[in-house]
Structure 1
Amino acid sequence: MRVICLVLMLLLGAPGAHAGAWPRGEGQAFLSFSQAHSADPGQRGGTPDSYAGLYAEYGLGPRLTLGLDAGHARDAGSWTAIAYLRRSLDRGAGRHRVAAELGLGARGRAGRRAEPVLRPGLSWGMGLNTRWGPGWAGVESYAEHRVESAETALKADTTLGLKPRPGRMLILQIQTGDYPGAAPYLRLAPSLVQRVGRHGHLELGLTAAALGDTRVGVKLGTWVAF
């Protein structure tokens, strides 16, 4: 099963709310707050898992983006916070966008000392024209190296997005990962994003495991761009 998941990650790309391979415009900022709950339908009476996420980006220049990716799992008592710098590798012309990034941060668990984390990443994306409206496709991949334990977690998310009308987005994300001490997973995460006001969006999403996991969940998020 581990080999199957890694092969899928490579097929989906060597490398949502995230800009992925597209840089933030110079001087532009983006904030996203999300809350996700998931549970195993086969375990009756169990307590759902809960995860709160914070994502922020700021455009330092035409090709350089500064970001923060943080989250907290309430039930496990674990947290992660990574600051990163992403640089566009393309010249901004043509359909394809490619970017590389390097993140530094820490991860921890209640009652334990925080562990430093090094996270390089590679992203690819391109715009799409469809009969239902403009859209995009992208792949974001990361290798999260945990310095003290010398363990490495692999993650790759493939995203397909569509804008059927102004202010509305339909998104399908295929999430894959291989984390130390856990089975490799593949999840499907569709979501609907609706503009609210001039600068905000609301996101309502679902998650369903297809490989290595049996949980299903729901996600509610807010986006603010300015």
Structure 2
Amino acid sequence: MRRFLTILLLLCCACRAQAGAWSRADGELFIAAGGNVLLSDGAQLPVHYDPTVYAEYGLTDRVTLGLDLYTADKGRIVQAFGFAGLPIGDTSGTYRTAASLGYGLRRNPDTTSEALMRLGLSFGRGLDSGWLAVDASATYGTRDTVWRPKADFTWGQAWSDRWTTTLQLQTGQGYYDDYYAKVSPTVILTVTDRFRINLGAVKAMTGDGGSALKLETWITF
């Protein structure tokens, strides 16, 4: 437990597609779905098709409930989480902090299944026309009894009412205790107030060094 807390603290101190440090508004539902396409030759780990479905619902102005479903490790691992997020401290200032707790299930490459617990901590800073964010988490498997950390670092910039760009560094520890890093630049087109299209790329900085295009849609109700 002490080793896990040390790793998580280091990841968080290292520097909004999903709300992260920003809570969803009361009654607001957000859904993101997508994955990678046009993989480069030999792209398997850590970049693959990686389809995801992610949802958040503002239960109150402070409590955000969510669902996180995705595959990893060339599609051999499937994970699903239900989670709740709460802001910490001031919710109106430039700097934001939030914590989350999630429970889920993972199907492992050997087809066994195990229950999961995930602890998360997010930091955000609003800019004049964008934001900076660090979203860190650690997931515990009840079968292998291992904490695996993950941290995403994001810079977002709004250029107009219709166009936004993000640059994200994704890092973490994989199922086989390998550490990975990926960089992902993205362009976001706001079609309406409720519908956005994301087109970007993802490039592995570890593993086989593979790359792909990334396509995702965001819908807000």
Q: TM-score, normalised by structure 1?
A: 0.85
Residue 81 (structure 1) shift: 0.3
Which amino acid in structure 1 is aligned with residue 105 of structure 2? A
Which amino acid in structure 2 is aligned with residue 32 of structure 1? A
1:22 paired to 2:17: no
Q: CA RMSD in A?
A: 2.5
The secondary structure found in structure 1 opposite 2:205 is: strand
Which amino acid in structure 2 is aligned with residue 162 of structure 1? Q
The secondary structure found in structure 1 opposite 2:54 is: strand
Percentage of matched positions with identical amino acids? 32
1:161 paired to 2:166: no
- In structure 1, the partner of 2:85 is 86
- In structure 2, the partner of 1:145 is 140
Distance 2:105 2:171 in 1: 22
Distance 1:185 1:111 in 2: 21
Residue 208 (structure 1) shift: 1.2
Q: What number of residue pairs does the alignment pair up?
A: 212
How do 1:152-191 residues align onto structure 2 when only pairs under 5 Å count?
152-191=147-186
Residue 74 (structure 1) shift: 8.8
- In structure 1, the partner of 2:75 is 76
Residue 7 (structure 1) shift: 10
Per-residue CA distance 1:70-122 (angstroms, 9 max, x = gap)? 01359433211000000001221321100000000001047723210000000
Tell me, which stretches of 5 or more residues in structure 1 are unaligned? none
1:215 to 1:25, Cα distance in 2 relative to 1, 3 A: same
Q: TM-score, normalised by structure 2?
A: 0.87
- In structure 1, the partner of 2:99 is 100
Tell me, which stretches of 5 or more residues in structure 2 are unaligned? 1-6
The answer to which structure has the higher strand fraction is 1
